[in-house]
Amino acid sequence: MTTDAVVTAALKPGSMEAEKAAQRPFWISALIHAALIGACFIMIYPLLWMIAASVRPQDEIFTSTGLIPSAVDFGSYVRGWNGLRVSFGTFFLNSFVIATLCVIGNVLACSLTAFAFARLEFFGRQFWFGLMLMTLMLPYQVTLIPQYVLFLNLGWVDTILPLVVPKFLAADAYFIFLMVQFFRGIPRELDEAAMMDGCSAWRIYWKIMLPLSTPVLATAAIFTFIWTWDDFFGPLIYLNDMRQYTVMLGLRTFTDSTGESDFGGLFAMSVASLVPIFLFFLFFQRLLIEGIATTGMKR
Amino acid sequence: MAVRAGEAAGSLGAEAATTPSLWSRMSERIGPGYLFLTPWLIGLFGLTLGPIIYSFYLSFTQFDLLTSPEWVGLDNYQRILTADPKFMASMRVTFLFVLFSVPLKLAFALAVAMLLNKGISALPMYRAIFYLPSLLGASVAIAILWRTIFSADGLINQLLWTAFGISGPSWISNPNYALWTLVVLSIWQFGSPMIIFLAGLRQIPQDMYEAASLDGASQWRQFWKITLPLLTPVVFFNVIIQTIEAFKSFTPAFIISGGQGGPINSTLFYTLYLYQEAFGFFRMGYASALAWILLAIISAFTAISFLSSRYWVHYDD
C-alpha cells in the first residue's frame, strides 16, 4: 500500500461508513456526539483552566475550578514577562533564533541525504540506508556524554552551536526517512527527462525535487520547529548563562525562584510559551496529522 | 517505524534490481551520491558512531571531565548491578511507568479511534482536539500545569472537594501517587497513536464487516475476529514507538520533582538518574555505563517484540 493511499484513506471518510452512519438511528448518533464532546471537554479542560488562571486575579487561582474569571486582568503577563533578571523577550528571541536555524539545517541536510538515498545510485547505498534506519532506534543517552565532551573541547558549551550544528549534519534521521518516502513517490520520468537534457544531479535536486516536495519539506520544518521550541534537555545541559536561555529554561527557572509566589505570572508565561506551537497547530493541522499518519511521528 | 523500515529496505533492493539501464548509465555520468551524503556522513561518524564507541569505552572508566578517563574495568557495571539502591529505584519507577502508561495510552487511543471511525460528522474537529494534548504535552509549560493541578490545593483536589466532599492529598508530594500523575499525563497525550490507529482502521475493507454481520457476528466478535487481527501491524508499531519514548521520557519527571526525582525517588526516571550522575555529580564514566544498560534494555525489548511478532502480528501478504 502506498503512502498516498494511506493518507487519502486516513483523511477522507469512507463512503461505506457514511452509508452506515446514515442508517444509524438519530439518538445513537446524538449519543456518540455527546460522548465525544464530553471527552474533548475533559481533554482540554486543564488547558482552558490554565488560560483562565493566567488572566484572573491572583487570589482566585487556587479557589476557583471554573473557567470564567471574576475579572480579566493581564497584569500577570506583565509581571511574568519581567519576572526574572532577564526578560522573557530575550528568551523568546533565543528560542526563535535556535528553532529557525534548526529548521533551515534540517530541511537542507535531510533533503540532500534523502535525495541521495531515493534517487542516486552509488556503491554501498543499501548499507548506509540500513545504518540510517538503525540510528532511528538509538536512545540519545548513549551518544550524550561523548557529544558533550566533544562540544566542550570545541569550546561550544554555553553557545547555541551544540543545539544547531547537528541539524545541519542531518542528525534527525526521522526526517530523512520521511523525505525518502516522499521522494520515491515522485515520478522518475521527470528527472530522467531532465537528465537526458543534460541536467546535473544538483540541479535535479534543486529545480525538480525540492519544488515538487513542498508538502514534506513543510511537514519537516513544522515538526522541527515545534520539537526544538519544546526541547528542554538540550538547552538544559548546554546553556548556562541566563542571557542565552530559551523559553523552556526560563520557565523552569521561574518555577525555581518566583514561581511559588507568583502563580499568575508563571501561568501567563506558560501560556505565552505555547502560543507559537498552537499557531502551527491552527494553520498546519492537516500537514501535522498527515505526517503522523504516514510515518508515525512519535508526537 | 520498524515495520515500515523493513518494507522500505526491501523495496529499495527491488528498485535497484529493476531500474532501467538508462538510469544507471545516467547516474554514472552525474557523479557519486557521496557528495550529497557528505553532511550526513560527517554527522554519522562525528555525532553517532564515534560517540557510541567512545561512550562504550567511557563506561569502563572513571571520568569527571577535568582529568583524563581512568580505566576501572567492570567496576561501574558491577556497582550499578549489585550496590546501587538508586539504580534499583529508578528501574522500578521506569518499568512501572512503561508498564502502565503504554498499554493505557494505546487502549484509549484505539477506543477513541474506533469511535471516530464510525462515520461521524465533524471528524476533523474531534481529531484535532484529541490530538492537541499530544502536540503540546512535551512542553515544560504542560509539566508546570500538571504540577499545579495535582498539588494539595490544585484543581483536582478542588474538584474532588466540590463534587464529592473528599479532601485529596497533595498528589505530587506523596510518594504513593506522584508517579501516577505522570502516568495520567502520558495517557492524556494519546492523540498521536490515535491518529495512527485511525489511519489503520481505514485500511480494513468494509465488506469484511458486512459479511460478518450477515453471518450474525456481534460487534464484540467482529472487534476480536476482524478489527484487532487486521490492526496488529499498527498495534505492533505503536507499542514499539511508545515504549521507546516512555523509556526515554525526561522533562515531565524533571519539572514535577524539581529535578530531584522525589519524593523518596518515586519519580526518579532512569533518564533523570542518568542526568543527575552525569551533570549533577560529573560521574561521566558511571553515567555512560547507565546509558549502555538503557541501550541494552531497549534493544532487548525491541528484539523480543520482533521475534514475538511472527506469532501475533498478522500481515496480509
| CB-based contacts of B215, cutoff 8 Å, min separation 6 | none
* Domain B63-312 listed as CATH 1.10.287.310: no
Residues A267, A76: Cα–Cα separation, whole Å: 8
Q: Residue A157: which pLDDT band, with cuts at 50, 70 and 90?
A: very high
Confidence at residue A232, expressed as pLDDT on a 0 to 100 scale: 93
Whole-Å CA distances, A101 to A59, A64, A247: 41, 42, 16
| CB-based contacts of B88, cutoff 8 Å, min separation 6 | none
Cell numbers for B266: 518515586
Asked whether the beta carbons of residue B195 and residue A205 sit closer than 8 angstroms, the reply is no
Residues of chain A with CATH 1.10.3720.10: 88-295
Of A133, A146, A297, the CB nearest to B55: A146
Residues on chain B touching A146 (C-beta within 8 angstroms): 50-52, 54-55, 58
CA distance B83 to chain A (A): 22
Q: Domain segments of chain B: what residues?
A: 63-312
Interface probe for B, chosen from A95, A107, A121 (most Cβ of B below 10 Å), is A121
Short-list A170, A160, A267, A145, CA closest to A224: A170
Confidence at residue A235, expressed as pLDDT on a 0 to 100 scale: 95
Confidence at residue A195, expressed as pLDDT on a 0 to 100 scale: 81
Residues B268, A178: Cα–Cα separation, whole Å: 34
The full DSSP string for B61-128 is EE--SSSPPEE-TTHHHHHHHHS-HHHHHHHHHHHHHHHHHHHHHHHHHHHHHHHHTTT-TTHHHHHH
Residues B209, B119: Cα–Cα separation, whole Å: 14
Residues A257, A111: Cα–Cα separation, whole Å: 43
Confidence at residue A150, expressed as pLDDT on a 0 to 100 scale: 94
Q: Do B145 and B230 touch, CB atoms closer than 8 A? A: no
Residues on chain A touching B290 (C-beta within 8 angstroms): 141
- The proportion of chain A whose per-residue pLDDT surpasses 70, expressed as a percent, equals 90
Q: Please give the residue of chain B at the shortest CA–CA distance from A30.
A: B120
The full DSSP string for B200-260 is HHHTS-HHHHHHHHHTT--HHHHIIIIIHHHHHHHHHHHHHHHHHHHHH--HHHHHHTTTS
Confidence at residue A288, expressed as pLDDT on a 0 to 100 scale: 85
Asked whether the beta carbons of residue A146 and residue B199 sit closer than 8 angstroms, the reply is no
Confidence at residue B27, expressed as pLDDT on a 0 to 100 scale: 53
Type and span of the H or E element at B157: helix B155-164
Encode pLDDT of A222-281 as tens digits. 999 999 999 999 999 999 999 999 999 999 988 887 556 788 888 999 999 999 999 999
User: Which string of b and e fits A164-203 if b means at least 16 CB within 10 Å?
Assistant: bbbbbbbbbbbbbbbbbbbbbeeeeeebbebbeeebebeb
> Which residues of chain B, if any, have pLDDT below 70?
1-32, 316-317
Whole-Å CA distances, A85 to A60, A157, A158, A253, B258: 27, 22, 18, 10, 20
Asked whether the beta carbons of residue B23 and residue A188 sit closer than 8 angstroms, the reply is yes
Asked whether the beta carbons of residue A149 and residue B65 sit closer than 8 angstroms, the reply is yes
Q: Which amino acid belongs to residue A237?
A: I
Confidence at residue B209, expressed as pLDDT on a 0 to 100 scale: 84
Residues B41, B45: Cα–Cα separation, whole Å: 6
CA distance A282 to chain B (A): 9
| CB-based contacts of B122, cutoff 8 Å, min separation 6 | A33
Interface probe for A, chosen from B19, B36, B132, B293 (most Cβ of A below 10 Å), is B36
CA distance A64 to chain B (A): 8
Q: Please give the residue of chain B at the shortest CA–CA distance from A254.
A: B144
Q: Determine the average pLDDT of the residues in A206-231.
A: 91
Asked whether the beta carbons of residue A232 and residue B135 sit closer than 8 angstroms, the reply is no
Type and span of the H or E element at B295: helix B284-312
Residues B60, B74: Cα–Cα separation, whole Å: 6
Q: Determine the average pLDDT of the residues in A181-196.
A: 86
Does residue B175 sit in helix, strand or coil?
coil
Encode pLDDT of B24-72 as tens digits. 555 554 456 888 999 999 999 999 999 999 999 999 999 998 888 989 9
Residues A234, A160: Cα–Cα separation, whole Å: 10
CATH number of A88-295: 1.10.3720.10
Q: Residue A3: which pLDDT band, with cuts at 50, 70 and 90?
A: very low
Assess whether pLDDT exceeds 50 at residue A5: no
Rg (C-alpha) for chain B, rounded Å, is 24
Residue A111 touches partner B, C-beta closer than 8 Å: no
Of A121, A205, A232, the CB nearest to B251: A232
Confidence at residue A191, expressed as pLDDT on a 0 to 100 scale: 82
Short-list A273, A239, A279, CA closest to A80: A273
Short-list B201, B188, B194, CA closest to B127: B194
Confidence at residue A6, expressed as pLDDT on a 0 to 100 scale: 45
Q: Do A265 and A76 touch, CB atoms closer than 8 A? A: yes
Asked whether the beta carbons of residue B51 and residue A150 sit closer than 8 angstroms, the reply is yes
Confidence at residue A93, expressed as pLDDT on a 0 to 100 scale: 96
